[in-house]
Amino acid sequence: DKGNHRHFMEKEIHEQPEVISHTLAHYLDFTNGTCRQLDLPFDFAAINRLAISACGTAYLAGLIGKYWFERHARLPVDIDIASEFRYREMPLSKDDAALFISQSGETADTLASLRYCRKAGMKIGAVVNVRESTIARESDVTLPTLAGPEIGVASTKAFTCQLSVLAALSVRAARARGAISAEQEKALVRQLSEAPRLATQVLKLDTEIEKLARELGKYKHVLYLGRDTNFPLAMEGALKLKEISYIHAEGYAAGELKHGPIALIDEKMPVIVIAPHDRIFEKTVSNMQEVAARGGKIILITDREGAARSTVDTLATIVLPDVPDIISPIIYALPIQMLAYYTAVFMGTDVDQPRNLAKSVTVE
């Protein structure tokens, strides 16, 4: 049931404050400011590496997870696209753990990667949305996302719930590995608890984003740029846009601009820059200047400070509320989903059932 929404995707985008809240509450005790005990088959303090593997949007959630695990917990993470992982013949240690991320829990390549790790004797965790799925069944521990059924082929709420689980797990790993103090844990848990409220605020930008989508729909190619966790988000933005609007889009690390994609920039290729005002914001501003100097049109997604400090003319600037670093990818995912959604609606495509795509890819 779509309720009063035009599409499941729209409904699922709007459910995010609630499902993020449920998911976080499953892993975090907000009253005490601590991570809940989890019955893990491995000890975060004892492993040397974590291997994460997934497909599509779930892979991009894993990539953001890598930034978090390495930053907060000082835990090295190998992240792979599952279809590569299963054939890559990399060395695996049975003393390390593997994490698989899947909304459906049935993705063929992700499942094959899981079985591959199991054979290598690794301990296995699965971040899944469908709890009675094969991937859930075959893992040592299921780490559920509490997103509820996701019907739209384009993943939205499952993605932000995957991010919520990974963020919480990274704090838990950080504490277990002695990388953060109890005080720091408390501070991070408090910051995470703000996600649902901030997500609700961002959803109110829908009219503004819908207007912008009518402009974006006029183009044939779009480039997304971001640094740090906004780099995977740039790829997620591009994936979402191409899936449902069929506009060609690419996501790049902003620092890679000069290494190739800048050759594509002209007035026919808008560039969406995801850049909250953080410690590397100025670097991204230089990239925007390079784009502007070549006639590229910029859509900047930032916060108040970023909007004030950016010195380039933009086609549009979407200003989000100030958000703590740790929840930034969760909150910045929303305008990106909304922009893809409204662009697809404007283009008149079949938003929930885009051509050639299946919700769950159970064959290789």
Rounded distance between C-alpha atoms, residue 288 and residue 161, angstroms: 31
Interface map 1-40 toward ligand M6R (x if CB under 6 A): ----------------------------------------
Q: What is the DSSP pairing of strand 298-303 with strand 271-274?
A: parallel
Binding to ligand M6R, residues 75-104 (CB under 6 A): 102-104
Rounded distance between C-alpha atoms, residue 195 and residue 327, angstroms: 6
Kindly report the number of other CB atoms within 10 A of residue 260's CB atom: 9
Does 110 bind ligand M6R (CB under 6 A)? Our answer is yes
SS3 89: coil
Does 113 bind ligand M6R (CB under 6 A)? Our answer is no
Cβ 274 vs Cβ 303: under 8 Å: no
Q: Select the residue interacting with ligand M6R from 9, 58, 173, 299 (CB under 6 A).
A: 58
Kindly report the number of other CB atoms within 10 A of residue 65's CB atom: 28
Q: Select the residue interacting with ligand M6R from 96, 185, 243, 303 (CB under 6 A).
A: 243
Does 169 bind ligand M6R (CB under 6 A)? Our answer is no
Does 56 bind ligand M6R (CB under 6 A)? Our answer is yes
First to last CA, the chain: 31
Specify the residue, 83 or 314, whose C-beta has the smaller distance to ligand M6R.
83
CB of 152 to ligand M6R, least distance (A): 8
Binding to ligand M6R, residues 137-156 (CB under 6 A): 153-155
Q: Is 359 a catalytic residue?
A: yes
Binding to ligand M6R, residues 118-137 (CB under 6 A): none
User: In degrees rounded to 5, what are phi and psi of residue 128?
Assistant: -130, 155
Q: What is the DSSP pairing of strand 141-144 with strand 123-128?
A: parallel
**Two tokens at 137?**
């069944």
Does 232 bind ligand M6R (CB under 6 A)? Our answer is no
Question: Could you list the residues that contact ligand M6R (CB under 6 A)?
Answer: 55-58, 102-104, 107, 110, 153-155, 239, 243, 360-361
> Where in the sequence numbering do the catalytic residues fall?
359
